Amino acid sequence: MPLEGEYEPSPEDWVRDQVERYEATDGREAGTLGDTGLPVVIFTTRGNKSGKLRKTPLMRVEHDGAYLLVASKGGAPSHPVWYHNLRADPSALEVQDGADRFDATARELDGDERAEWWERAVAAYPPYAEYQRKTDRRIPVLLAERRVQPGTDPEEQP
């Protein structure tokens, strides 16, 4: 069941504009990070204080239908707001990859699983390695996995 509620666009012009174009064109436009040519995915979360829907473009790191959310914030000393939103409610998550939109649940990774996905993240977007070097915090990584709709066969889910 898709997230419902009032959408609060980002105060950042570039984020707001990218999300708007991406959604309007199913990712055919505004589907990359600036002029890098590297693809992004739109993640929708629910604000843990406001309750409003928030949309964030993040680098596309996908493997076997699961998507990684890297809470890098460019190597800043604090975690991004969306990270706190997902920690508060890991099932308040929608993923849009092009025209494909689905409900997901997020879980934070650690150990070998984190290491494996971190390698995928750096392969997809090499600046993540530099972001980790420039901050004292360990950058959290969360895995978004598609939620199966009740009454459906998991094998029939896209």
Per-residue pLDDT of the chain (158 residues; tens, 9 = 90+): 678 999 999 999 999 999 999 999 999 999 999 889 999 999 999 999 999 999 999 999 999 999 999 999 999 999 999 999 999 999 999 999 999 999 999 999 999 999 999 999 999 999 999 999 999 999 999 999 999 866 655 565 55
For the chain, how many structural domains are there in total? Answer: 1
What CATH code is carried by the domain that includes residue 23?
2.30.110.10
Distance CA 112, CA 123 (A): 17
Residue 139 lies in a domain: yes
Within a 13 Å sphere around the CA of 106, how many CA atoms are in the beta-carbon half? 26
Residue 154 lies in a domain: no
**SS3 call for 77:** coil
Within 8 A by CB and 6+ apart from 84, the residues are 48
Four-CA torsion 95, 105, 158, 55, nearest 10 degrees: -10
Q: Which domain holds residue 127?
A: 13-147
Residue 5 lies in a domain: no
